[in-house]
Amino acid sequence: MKKGAKGAPVKKVQEKLNKAGAKPKVTVSGVFDDAMMSAVKAFQKKHKLKIDGIVGDNTMAALDARGKAPKWGVKDISRGLKQLRMKKKDLTTSRIDIAVLAGEHHKNKEIKSAYRLFDISAETYSKYLLQFTRKMERIEELRVDFQRYLKGKPHEQKLAESEAQDLFKEMQKMNKIAAKLERIFERDHDMFLQKLDDTAVAA
């Protein structure tokens, strides 16, 4: 898109220039005039793009990002990673404790069976937590890359943001599955302990 262009697409770019902080603001007329070209050049200079006054792919990508970092939900990522690591740590501790108890009653077939069931659900839950953690860590990597290394590279910024958004959507689905696996793990954990109590009472 260059000087002389007209129509709705020009209006959209004029609106984006204004949202990006064009000074003076561009008149949203739908006509690519001298004033708009000056605003485009100023935007390109600010974001270290080729200064030609033409709205090409890189300039459009930078306008879409408006030169600002996307909403990464930094606090949510940090808190989420902390919670996942705590869950992983608690799960490992629980598995060790249950394994010790199962070892003390290795001759009891019912306890051995209950332990086997617990171990399967614990292993499944553990592997899923690991996958979940890795995806969240990838989002954190993308956020750091966006802020530190991709400045002045609007196309790469857009790709990083797009990947992060896809990961966020995938993790929303994974979160439901993780919650279900956690409930199964807790059920089998409690069943094992109940089996121990029943055995102690019977003895």
pLDDT value of residue 76: 66
- The residue-averaged pLDDT of 43-64 equals 83
Q: 53-79 burial, b if ≥16 CB within 10 A, otherwise e?
A: bbbeebbbbbbebeeebbebeeeebee
- Report the predicted TM-score, pTM, of the whole model to 2 decimal places: 0.58
At 113-166, the pLDDT tens digits run 999 999 999 999 999 999 989 988 888 888 777 766 666 677 777 788 788 888
- Residues 31, 18 contacting (CB under 8 angstroms): no
Which residue, chain included where needed, has tokens 């592997």? 127
At 2-32, the pLDDT tens digits run 999 999 999 999 998 988 888 899 999 999 9
